[in-house]
Amino acid sequence: MAVSDTERSPTRRRQPSNAKSIVGLTGPAYLWLIVTILLPLAAMLYFSFLSDVPLPGRDWQVTLSNYAAFFQEDFYRTLMLRSLRLGFEVALWCFLIGFPCAYVLAKTIKGRWREALFLMVIIPFWSNALIRVFSWTMVLRGNGMLERLLDWLIPGFGSLNLMFTYEAVVIGLVHSYLPYMILTCYISLSTIDDDLIDAARSMGAGRLTVLRRIILPLSMPGIVAGAVLIFVPVIGSFMEPRILGGREGTFLGTVIEDQFTSVFNWPLGAALSFILLACVLIIFAIFQPILRRAS
């Protein structure tokens, strides 16, 4: 058997150093993760069960009231649904826009043009997120660039009033997160052998059948990865909703941010964060079979 072979072999003495090198190589990364993620998270979990910020001179005790607030007040549940809906919608739009783009990049364009177009996909990533969002305000606001462009194309178009709406938030978020979907789909699509598409066509499949039966199923891992990468940060997002949504931009993410920055109710903010996290985990658990089959 293989096990006894290695035990008898002269390389046996090297095995401890192998284990040592594994610890040596992965140790720093895990240590870093523990210090930067697990410890703050543990602290937040602790906060979420307190009645007030644990500072000297404040009166605080352990309580469940922060979690209870979520279940007692409709306001939070409405917000949760709103945030989840935002996450789904942004992921869906990213897929609808990003997948065809990734397809063209992976399957139609060859050579230097592909690199150039790829760069155009990635460049938004390199610019500051705040600048990106503020430039959208110039585009979307009343009498902004978009309205003027439409007015110029279709005289007498009137006004859109997109700024400070739910739609504006979706537009801003789709723009921010689109590259994730394009990149993950691109990777999946470029692993699909062109001969598979040719084979399907030779058997009589039109373009739609090829897309539905071959390309979409085979690129599902990329689509799912992209959707997850987008969904999770979007439901907790607060910058885009705040700047582009105005009063319409109240989501769970902005409320949580308020608790930490303006209301100074850290325990409530922490509790809402954990409820959000639990919600994400429950959703992934429900969709687990589909996700596993996809990848």
Partner 1 sequence: MASVTVSHVNKSFGEFRALDDVSIEFADGGFYALLGPSGSGKTTLLRQIAGFSFPDSGEILIGGEAVESLPVEKRNIGMMFQNYALFPNMSVFDNVAFGLMVRSTPRHEIKARVGEALELVRLSGYDERKPHQLSGGQRQRVALARAIVFRPRVLLLDEPLSALDKALRLGMQVELKRIQREVGITTIFVTHDQEEALTLSDKVGVLKDGKLLQEGPPRELYERPATAFAATFLGDANLFEGHVEEGELALSDGTRLRATAPLAGVGKATCAVRPEKMAIAEKGEPLRADHNHLEAELQEIIFAGNSLSYLLRRGDIHLRVFAQNRATAELQPGQRVRLTWRVADTIPVEA
Contacts to partner 1 by CB under 8 A: 193, 195-196, 198-206, 209, 213-214, 217-218
Tokens read off for 17 = 């150093």
In angstroms, the CA 86 to CA 82 distance is: 6
The number of CA neighbours under 13 Å toward the Cβ of 56 is 0
Collapsing DSSP to helix, strand or coil, 62 comes out as strand
Residue 123 vs 196, nearer CB to partner 1: 196
Integer CA distances (angstroms), 122 to 119, 125, 235, in order: 5, 5, 23
Residue 161 vs 209, nearer CB to partner 1: 209
Q: How far does the chain reach from its first CA to its final CA, in angstroms?
A: 33
Residue 109 vs 220, nearer CB to partner 1: 220
The closest of 222, 225, 212 to 188, measured between CA atoms, is: 222
In angstroms, the CA 252 to CA 259 distance is: 11
CB of 110 to partner 1, least distance (A): 13
Residue 191 vs 261, nearer CB to partner 1: 191
The closest of 249, 222, 234 to 280, measured between CA atoms, is: 234
CB of 183 to partner 1, least distance (A): 22
The 3-state secondary structure of 168-216 reads HHHHHHHHHHHHHHHHHHHHHHHCCCHHHHHHHHHCCCCHHHHHHHHHH
Residue 132 vs 201, nearer CB to partner 1: 201
CB of 208 to partner 1, least distance (A): 11
Residue 21 vs 191, nearer CB to partner 1: 191
Residue tagged 């690129």 (tokens): 219
